[in-house]
Structure 1
Amino acid sequence: MSSTPIVPFSEPPYLAGHPSPYYTENHRAWQKACRSFVEKHLLANALEWDTQELLPEHVFETFAKAGMLLPSLPAPLPVEWLKSLGIHELLGTVKVEDFDYFHTLIYCDEMARSGLAGPSGSLTTGMSFGVPPIVKYGNRQLQERFLPELLTGKKRTCIAITEPEAGSDVANITTTATKTPDGKHYIINGTKKWITNGIWADYSSMAVRTGGPGPTGLSMVVVPLKGYPGVNMRRLKVGGQVSAGTTFIELDDVKVPVENLIGQEGMGMKYIMTNFNHERMTIAIGATRQARVALASATEYILKREAFGKPLVDQPVVRHRLAKCGAMLETQWAWVEQFAYSLTKFPKEVADVELGGLTAMAKAQAGIVLNECAQCAMLLFGGNGYTKSGQGELIERIYREAPGIRIPGGSEDVMLDLGVRQLVKNFKNKTKALERPQGSSKL
């Protein structure tokens, strides 16, 4: 048990001295190394940079050179590729072959300790969501062309799926990729919207329509972006996470070699959906830490703020509000840890089926919890929490960011519905598998 007092709700239980079955000594060493690196190179200036709506280029370069963009990839890491590039361990603490999803969880949690999603998202989103389709489904020539520069951070990428008229409704995207008469190129036309990191990206893993309507007509292609003929990009000013570089992309007769196809034509929907599991899981981890920052800040504030002749913490109504949100927060964190544990035990193909719907629900719930905790903090801070400067500045910013968790990565209502539909589908499939073959007397 830790003898050093910490502000209630400010750390997950395993860092507050509580016993945990999940974390090994290597996990704990990784957490300490992560915290030291991230505090020095990101958190110290995160709020200032987010206010300026842009992280300096040297921050990305520092993370890339230290291999500290790689932990945002799904575990296990692409060990063969990393070792071929001379990358054998991260921060001198964890070997790349030993990296598991608890290392991922710890990294995502530490990166979000500013309370803001923008600064960390400006660094990691492209690596976390844009690189995995190439690693998982790209053939050798595609990987050899792109992975060396992407994994080392010499080039940047993004995931480009969402369109102005097709957000969570991925199956109905309209951006087309039509082959030239000689079959050597795709000509891509359409628009992509709300693409995080797009404005800085050299490439994108893009969802396009190579076939007919519906999910079977979708494919994924590596499409060059920055400075490429036919590509026009502009930043979008959204309500929060502005420093993450949300982008609108127009594609006008963009000519891309057919060798840039990821995997097989018509398999894009499968690739996208399995990639979403990691995306939604990392969003849930980061949002839970954001909620923790908000609630811990509120707790610290009510311990010192006085009203009606006594500290706010002595008011029962204040403690009640804090308790309700605290229970939601710690329950959400326990669920996130359970997911991480499952991902270390399930084979990939099993995890995609068993956890797909639940991951969607966890992402949705994380947004709900963040919204409640941020709102609680704002109310307890009073006018200070509604002010864009001073002691409540961070709380005002976190509250403004809550919709940026509840909408992107699959909007909340769609995610909750998807979760139940997937659970029911799995139940029906397992029930059907137990049924006796028709006309057979055998069990």
Structure 2
Amino acid sequence: MSLPIVPFSEPPYLAGLPSPYYKSTHLKWQKACRDFIQKNLLENALEWDTAELLPEHVFETFAKAGMLIPSLPAPLPVEWLKRLGIRELPGGLKVEEFDYIHTMIYCDEMARSGLAGPSGSLTTGISFGVPPILKYGNKQLQERFLPELLTGGKRTCIAITEPGAGSDVANISTTATKTPDGKFYIINGTKKWITNGIWADYSSMAVRTGSPGPGGLSMVVVPLKGYPGVSMRRLKVGGQVSAGTTFIELDDVKVPVENLIGQEGMGMKYIMTNFNHERLTIAIGATRQARVALSAAMEYVLKREAFGKTLVEQPVVRHRLAKCGAMLESQWAWVEQFVYQMTQLPKETADIELGGLTAMVKAQSGIVLDECARCAMLLFGGNGYTKSGQGELIERIYREAPGVRIPGGSEDVMLDLGVRQLVKNFKNKTKAMEGPKGSSKL
């Protein structure tokens, strides 16, 4: 007979409660994910994050097993994967059966350490750097880069943010100017807070090929590691310390024009649609981090005694747990509903209908994580404020909360964007219902 699970420690579908979303293929995938990720990542995640670096063999193990592939948007690039000999993922899941619920399960399991750094050091590059090439790159570009990137032979990253342009993507200033013969771009500028950049052979980079504003932006595959004119250094950040946050300087970097992703001037569109996958996966992972923090607090107050009784017997403690538990489970229900909608809507419709909501679910996940981490730290007391011992993980998760509320689109910008997009959709639908204007004469 299995032991009862600690309250808030698992999503309802794993706590024995019924759910309309999960088919047998999803449940089988969850077991395969948990077995593989527990053995190859989670057992040492806190130790590696403390050292601020994962051993190289961890990436190689994940790549060899095909366990980097699930970080891509669903549906997977089936034709490419089969060409590369990848027909199934661990647990026997056929690549053509993979949907966004499988993505959600994978992201949730990868975050079970409670830390974003260990999983992010493995998946951020392929998850956000490869999709622009898959979606918008022409055949020659895909043939040159995808075989090595999809199999983990080479690493990539997404390089958008700059010292002077974070959430304000339209004001990116890194320039890509064509040589007189039109054969190369000469790239100059800086990129900052680029996750995985320090290990990346390539980047899908936002550059300015035209006039100021969004219409002048393009995306280019720019070589990084060891490439002439590129210098990189790791940045020390408050959380996600093992994910390789990087500052990149580009000094007359010469790149073939064939490295252009899609068309010149379409970069803003490519960047914004790519953000949807990024923000949704951040929301999934952050919700699990909140779950890890809150369930650890629950486990602690069940055994910790003060004033002659366990902490959970104190009404004020139960009140804190209840408020955060309600936020956590509401957030997870929204994530599940959101991901289910992704499996039912055509991609083009989902980008329009769910684009603004994606920004909001990402913002809310950071708010929930902050509340749950704060609750856990307060209930752990001095132990939660100590960088070692039984509260070490809680102290670390608390420092990671800003890493959800700021990167991937800062919280205030996301909330505003969400409402603006909903209003835009409403106005467009209202306008479409109106008949042709004009007067009719009797």
Residue 67 (1) aligns with residue 75 (2): no
Q: Which residue of 1 aligns with 2:404?
A: 405
What pairs with 1:403-442 in structure 2 (closer than 5 Å)? 403-439=402-438
How far residue 440 of structure 1 moved from its aligned partner, in angstroms, is 6.8
Report Cα offsets for 1:273-303 as digits up to 9, x if no partner.
Answer: 0000000000000000000000000000000
Q: Which residue of 1 aligns with 2:231?
A: 232
Q: Secondary structure at the residue paired with 1:242?
A: coil
Report Cα offsets for 1:42-86 as digits up to 9, x if no partner.
Answer: 000000000000000000000000000000000000000000000
How far residue 3 of structure 1 moved from its aligned partner, in angstroms, is 6.4
- Distance in 2 separating the partners of 1:92 and 1:298: 33
Report Cα offsets for 1:298-354 as digits up to 9, x if no partner.
Answer: 000000000000000000000000000000000000000011101101101001000
Q: Secondary structure at the residue paired with 2:158?
A: strand
The one-letter code sitting in structure 2 at the alignment partner of 1:417 is: D
How far residue 93 of structure 1 moved from its aligned partner, in angstroms, is 2.2
- Distance in 1 separating the partners of 2:70 and 2:189: 32
Report Cα offsets for 1:161-197 as digits up to 9, x if no partner.
Answer: 0000000000000000000000000000000000000
Q: Which residue of 1 aligns with 2:11?
A: 12
- Distance in 2 separating the partners of 1:440 and 1:352: 37
Report Cα offsets for 1:76-133 as digits up to 9, x if no partner.
Answer: 0000000000000100421000000000000000000000000000000001000000
The one-letter code sitting in structure 2 at the alignment partner of 1:140 is: K
What pairs with 1:188-207 in structure 2 (closer than 5 Å)? 188-207=187-206
Q: Secondary structure at the residue paired with 2:189?
A: strand
How far residue 7 of structure 1 moved from its aligned partner, in angstroms, is 0.1
The one-letter code sitting in structure 2 at the alignment partner of 1:370 is: L
TM-score (norm 1): 0.99
**Contact 1:26 1:93 survives alignment (8 Å):** no
What pairs with 1:12-411 in structure 2 (closer than 5 Å)? 12-411=11-410
How far residue 382 of structure 1 moved from its aligned partner, in angstroms, is 0.2
The one-letter code sitting in structure 2 at the alignment partner of 1:301 is: Y
- Distance in 1 separating the partners of 2:330 and 2:19: 15
- Distance in 1 separating the partners of 2:120 and 2:54: 10
- Distance in 2 separating the partners of 1:154 and 1:207: 23
Task: Give me the identity figure in percent.
Answer: 87
- Distance in 2 separating the partners of 1:319 and 1:136: 48
Q: Secondary structure at the residue paired with 1:207?
A: strand
Q: Runs of 4 or more off by more than 3 Å in structure 1?
A: none
Q: Secondary structure at the residue paired with 2:242?
A: helix
- Distance in 2 separating the partners of 1:309 and 1:334: 37
Report Cα offsets for 1:228-272 as digits up to 9, x if no partner.
Answer: 000000000000101000000000000000000000000000000
- Distance in 2 separating the partners of 1:267 and 1:49: 39
Report Cα offsets for 1:176-228 as digits up to 9, x if no partner.
Answer: 00000000000000000000000000000000000001000000000000000
The one-letter code sitting in structure 1 at the alignment partner of 2:34 is: R
Could you tell me which runs of 5 or more consecutive residues in structure 2 were left unpaired when the two chains were aligned.
Answer: none
**Contact 2:183 2:257 survives alignment (8 Å):** yes
**Contact 1:231 1:251 survives alignment (8 Å):** yes
Q: Secondary structure at the residue paired with 2:248?
A: strand
- Distance in 1 separating the partners of 2:283 and 2:439: 47
- Distance in 2 separating the partners of 1:345 and 1:308: 53
- Distance in 1 separating the partners of 2:383 and 2:435: 66
Q: Secondary structure at the residue paired with 1:355?
A: helix
The one-letter code sitting in structure 2 at the alignment partner of 1:258 is: V
**Contact 1:112 1:289 survives alignment (8 Å):** yes
The one-letter code sitting in structure 2 at the alignment partner of 1:205 is: S
**Contact 1:291 1:374 survives alignment (8 Å):** yes
**Contact 1:69 1:127 survives alignment (8 Å):** yes
How far residue 4 of structure 1 moved from its aligned partner, in angstroms, is 4.0
**Contact 2:28 2:91 survives alignment (8 Å):** no
TM-score (norm 2): 0.99
How far residue 439 of structure 1 moved from its aligned partner, in angstroms, is 2.2
How far residue 438 of structure 1 moved from its aligned partner, in angstroms, is 1.5
The one-letter code sitting in structure 2 at the alignment partner of 1:231 is: V
**Contact 1:219 1:268 survives alignment (8 Å):** yes
The one-letter code sitting in structure 1 at the alignment partner of 2:220 is: V
**Contact 1:157 1:201 survives alignment (8 Å):** yes
